[in-house]
Structure 1
């Protein structure tokens, strides 16, 4: 029997296993899919990275979306010799700008005022392609994830994100086969962030998903699963 590829899947902000539901179903045929929960538990990206790797096999493939990508990049910086393949999905290697930090702090303030429902509404409006804002089924799935995680974890995750380091100088050190995926209309981590990473990571491939926002694994699940399946089996 062929050995299944260990694949760590790291969800994004306010996301859990449901973010990767389609990918686990497809990729589980050839890989041992491990969806971490460590991204909910600590207040720094570095500490999360340590916790993820502490539970990981000696060698593994690694995929992260959004905040999950920030964590994946930190894992590569610290433990790159253990990463066989890397998938960076709708994410960025840059640290937060002052404007981004201000926006996050406003969302944290809303949470502390008991307005987590308002936060969910604000976030959903920018997470998906404009044509999907009225997609009730997709919205329920995304909001249900957020509600399972809740405001306390959201605040902790935002603090970790705001404190993360700039990974751009480290991108040229990544040498494993890398696929970079981005929704063409991603308004959270725009396409230019993915293009920057693709330009600096050797042996990387950029996949742009048309008519898609930030939540590619849920908006265009078949396309993302196909890309990751090729990424896992080509090398």
Structure 2
């Protein structure tokens, strides 16, 4: 397991910082690489960019949008992935109402004069109320670093994505489905759906956790990833 490479994919408006605490908690359990999703216009293009930079064989974990990118990777190159973790994500496409909401969110982000304040306020729907202040501050700084243009571009990519549920039935590798019990953005029922459609997958619901276990509950997330990597 010490030589295994784990590719980690960030979510919407996120960079490597969303995985930093989990990477630290993993220690020398594996070699971690964080995929770059910031310069692509579609989920398949994000998947291609990650595949271009990844080794020939690797384990894969994606959170939120990153889980959808992970499923695009499984569709494009399933033979290269040894283990899969889908964290607080969904496989079904957006409804019309959800696509309209994304369009409205993009308009608000594009027009606000207080992007930092907007980033802080949005955390009420992202992390659990018990999330400490240093986690919240780190998320705000990440949002500012990634910027509004990348957020808008990624939100458009999410609105345009297809139905990824059909990919789940093709999975033939150890798979973990991980979700925060209090996730308001992708509720537990969506992870239960993924678990039901992915053969042999294991479902893990993390108590007192919102949408981002890799930064909210890094020790638990790392333990679940180590257990996944030990499966054959």
Q: Is the 8 A contact 1:213 1:219 kept in 2?
A: yes
Q: 1:121 aligns to what?
A: 120
Q: Is the 8 A contact 1:110 1:119 kept in 2?
A: no
Q: Structure 1, residues 108-155: CA drift from partner, whole Å, max 9, x if none?
A: 1012213423531342110012344xx422210111111110011111
Q: 1:78 aligns to what?
A: 76
- 5+ residue gaps in structure 1? none
Q: Is the 8 A contact 1:107 1:119 kept in 2?
A: no
Of 39, 43, 46, 1:45 maps to 43
**3-state secondary structure, aligned to 1:181:** strand
Give me the whole-angstrom Cα distance separating, in 1, the residues matched to 2:48 and 2:157: 13
- 5+ residue gaps in structure 2? none
Q: Does 1:160 align with 2:157?
A: yes
Q: 2:28 aligns to what?
A: 29
Of 34, 54, 57, 2:55 maps to 57
Greater helix percent: which structure? 1
Q: Structure 1, residues 35-85: CA drift from partner, whole Å, max 9, x if none?
A: 122x11111001111111011111110000001001001100111111100
Question: Does the C-alpha gap of structure 1 residues 163 and 119 become closer, same or farther in structure 2, counting only changes over 3 Å?
Answer: farther
Aligned residues: 231
Quote the RMSD (CA, aligned, Å).
1.4
Q: Is the 8 A contact 1:189 1:214 kept in 2?
A: yes
Give me the whole-angstrom Cα distance separating, in 2, the residues matched to 1:70 and 1:119: 25
Q: How far does residue 28 in structure 1 lie from its aligned partner after superposition?
A: 4.1
Q: Does 1:96 align with 2:104?
A: no
**3-state secondary structure, aligned to 1:185:** coil
